[in-house]
Amino acid sequence: MPTLLLTGFEPFAGDTVNPSGDAVRAVAERWTGSDRLITEVLPVTFDGAIARMAALLDEHRPDVVLATGLAGGRTAVTPERIAVNLADARIPDNVGHRPQDAAVVEGGPAAYFATLPVKAISAALGAAGIPSTLSHTAGTFVCNATMYAALHATEGTATRAGFIHLPWAEGTGPDGAPSLPIETIRDALEIAARVALASEDDVAAAGGELS
């Protein structure tokens, strides 16, 4: 039975909500079918999130890892293509840790590409009427570090891993911030999970960005 690990994050930066954690809990409530779903809401701390991700990978040996987090300001559901080996925090994490110019994994490669079928996921979201574009930076905070740690740990294995950044859920972000209904974010994660479980290979499609 294929196993999917789906994670979100707790609130951070003084906020009281994080749509990623809420959506992950909502996906778990509705999950059906034979694929095994493991969900977890991770702490927004560099050390805690990386350690918890490693422990979950060890314990559950998932076939697919889909980590998610909030990127307030984004207008769409954005699968991330790249995680970089850089922790450089503009704000403290939830235990006050604020690394600067640090490696996520000392001695690790500069970056990893997501091993999830990111274009297939984005296309499936678009087909379902959910705004989605690929992102080429997950930032240098806890989300990027968690994605990097998952890809580092699963490198060379059959496990596919990646990350999706989400906009605010409607009614929860700062005034004027772009948002989607929480139900849409929940549906987006369920669609992404099903596509990731079903497709080992990505689709061929034009992508990328002009700078």
Sequence letter at residue 203: V
Please, which residue, 120 or 148, has the CB nearer to ligand PCA?
148
143 is known as an active-site residue: yes
The question of whether 106 is a catalytic residue gets the answer no
List 7, 20, 122, 172, residue binding ligand PCA (CB under 6 A): 20
Length of the chain measured in residues: 211
Judged by CB under 6 A, the residue of 9, 46, 112, 148 near ligand PCA is 9
Rounded-to-integer distance, Cα 8 and Cα 113, Å: 20
In the set 40, 152, 165, 190, the catalytic residue is 165
Please choose, out of 125-133, 138-146, 174-182, 187-195, the segment that lies near ligand PCA by the rule CB under 6 A: 138-146
Please say whether the beta carbons of 103 and 47 come within 8 A.
no
> Is 165 an active-site residue?
yes
Q: Which of 71, 124, 185, 197 binds ligand PCA (CB under 6 A)?
A: 71
- Count CA atoms closer than 13 A to 93's CA, side-chain side: 26
Task: Check residue 201 and give left, alpha or beta (phi > 0: left; psi -120 to 50: alpha).
Answer: beta
Instruction: Tell me if 12 contacts ligand PCA by CB under 6 A.
Output: yes
Q: Quick one: which of 39, 46, 62, 69 contacts ligand PCA (CB under 6 A)?
A: 69
Q: What's the rounded Cα separation, in Å, for the pair 24 and 9?
A: 9
In one-letter notation, the amino acid at residue 58 is D
- Choice from 46, 112, 141, 148 touching ligand PCA (CB under 6 A): 141
Q: For the chain, what is the radius of gyration of the CA atoms?
A: 16
Nearer to ligand PCA, 101 or 201 (CB): 101
Tokens 């702490």 map to which residue?
A: 43
Q: Which residues bind ligand PCA (CB under 6 A)?
A: 9, 12, 18, 20, 44, 69-71, 139, 141-143
**Among all residues, which ones are annotated catalytic?**
80, 143, 165
